[in-house]
Structure 1
Amino acid sequence: PGNYALLTVRDTGVGMDKKTLERIFDPFFTTKGLAKGTGLGLASVYGIIKAHGGYIDVESKKGQGTTFEIYLPATEKEVIKEKELPVELIKGEETVLLVDDEDMIIDVGEQMLKTLGYNVLTAGSGKEAIELYKKNRDKIDMVLLDMIMPGVGGGETYDRMKEINPRVKVLLSSGYTIDGQATEILERGCNGFIQKPFNMKRLSQGIREILDS
C-alpha cells in the first residue's frame, strides 16, 4: 500500500531459466564460478532496497533478456535543501587493516584511509586478513572488516582475530543494515558498525570513535 517510485532496468542478454531465477538473490549464489564472482551483488541490492522499505521484482526468459523492477517508497513532502556546511574530517596516523573481497572497495577504501592520514594494510579475504593480523598485530591499531565474504566471513574473521588479541579493535562494514548478523557480531564485542556506502566524514568519525575509546 502507498505510493512508490518505480525504477526499471532491462537488458536484452541471455536471460535466466526458472531454476536460476529462484536463487539470484541468495548470498554467494553465482553462475560465474568462484574465480569470477562472489554472488553478492544482487544479494546486496536486495538488502539495500528492503532496508529502504522497497521491493524488487524480476522477470526473465532464456534467450530474451531480464527485467528488474525496483519499487521505492515515494513521498509528497517538499524537499528542503539543507544548508551545506564545511565537512570536518577527523584524521589520524594509526595503521588500519582494510578487509574486503571486492577489489573496487579495497581500492576506494584504501584511498579514503590514506587521505585521512592512516597507514593502510589490505586483505582480500577473511583467511588472508587473519594471517596478516597474526603477523602484524603489534602494528595494526584497528581493522575495517567487511561482514559478508565467501569462505571465512566477517564474523568468523572477527572471532579468530579476537583469539589472537582479545583487545582487537574492529569496525564492521556491510551493505546490509545493522540488524541480524551484524548485531550478533557486535554483541560478541565488535566495536562498531558502518553501513556501505559510506562517505569520508562518516568513516573518519567511525574510526576515531573506536581508536579514541
Structure 2
Amino acid sequence: MTVIWATVKDHGGYIDLKSREGEGTLIEVYLPACGESVEPTGPVALESYLGSERILVVDDAPEQSQIAANMLGKLGYRVSTVTSGEAAVEYLKQAGADLVILDMIMPGGMDGLQTYIRILEVAPGQKAIIASGFSESQRVKDLLELGGGAYVGKPYTLEQIGVAVRRELDRK
C-alpha cells in the first residue's frame, strides 16, 4: 500500500479510503487530468538489454532483492544480493561489481546515499542506479549528482529495470 500511496502522491493525486465492518472497503484513487498528449512508444527489444555483467543488489527487504535477482538473472546478468549498505561496502572491497542497484530507504543502517558515498571511497567511479518504492527525494537527487545513474521506482517491470541497467552499464 505504501508503494501505491507514494506513486499516487508523486502524480499529484490522492486516495480516499472508506471501510465498514461487514460491508467491505472502497478505495478510490484520484489523479489530476493531463491535457498533454503522450506519444506511445513501442516495446524495447529484449536483446537490447541483455548482459552478462556482475550486479550487486542492495535492499533491506530480502523478497525485493530476490525479485530483482530473478529478473536480472533472466536477462543474463550475474547477480549477488546484500541486505545493508554496510554489507555492500564490504562486498565491493572483496569482489567488486560492474553495477550496484541501491535501495534508498534501509532502516537501521546506512541509506542509499550514505552507502553510495562509502562505496565511492572503496570503488571510485562505481556505477549505480537507484530502485526505490518512495518518491524521488532530495537524497536521491544528491546521489544522482554524485554520479549515480537512473532512478527506477518500485515496483518495476523487467523492461524498466533491464533498460536502466543496460543504459548505466553502457554509459561512458
Cα separation, partners in 2 of 1:45 and 1:201, compared to 1, 3 Å: closer
**Runs of 4+ with >4 A deviation:** 57-60, 67-70, 74-77, 82-87
Question: What displacement does 1:58 show?
Answer: 6.5
Q: How does 1:80-91 map to 2 (within 5 A)?
A: 87-89=45-47, 90-91=49-50
Q: 2:131 aligns with which of 173, 180, 184?
A: 173
The residue that corresponds to 1:142 in the other structure is: 99
| More helix by percentage | 2
The residue that corresponds to 1:117 in the other structure is: 76
The residue that corresponds to 1:186 in the other structure is: 144
CA distance, structure 2, for counterparts of residue 145 and residue 127 of structure 1? 12
Q: 1:131 aligns with which of 73, 87, 90?
A: 90
Higher relative contact order (CA 8 A, sep 6+): 2
The residue that corresponds to 2:22 in the other structure is: none
Which amino acid in the other structure matches residue 72 of structure 1?
Answer: Y
Question: What displacement does 1:100 show?
Answer: 0.7
Cα separation, partners in 2 of 1:115 and 1:74, compared to 1, 3 Å: same
TM-score normalized by the length of structure 1: 0.66
**Equivalent pair of 1:127/1:157 in contact (CA under 8 Å):** yes
* Residue-by-residue CA offset, 1:80-130 (whole Å, 9 max, x unaligned): xx7975743411111000111112211111110110101111001112112
SS for the counterpart of 2:30 is: strand
**Equivalent pair of 2:130/2:148 in contact (CA under 8 Å):** yes
SS for the counterpart of 2:155 is: coil
SS for the counterpart of 1:160 is: helix
SS for the counterpart of 1:104 is: helix
CA distance, structure 1, for counterparts of residue 127 and residue 34 of structure 2? 43
The residue that corresponds to 1:201 in the other structure is: 159
Cα separation, partners in 2 of 1:136 and 1:56, compared to 1, 3 Å: same
**Equivalent pair of 1:98/1:110 in contact (CA under 8 Å):** yes
Cα separation, partners in 2 of 1:124 and 1:75, compared to 1, 3 Å: same
Question: What displacement does 1:70 show?
Answer: 4.7
CA distance, structure 2, for counterparts of residue 158 and residue 84 of structure 1? 34
RMSD, aligned α-carbons: 3.0
**Equivalent pair of 1:98/1:121 in contact (CA under 8 Å):** yes
* Identity of matched residues, %: 33
Q: 2:56 aligns with which of 97, 100, 113?
A: 97
Pair member with larger Rg: 1
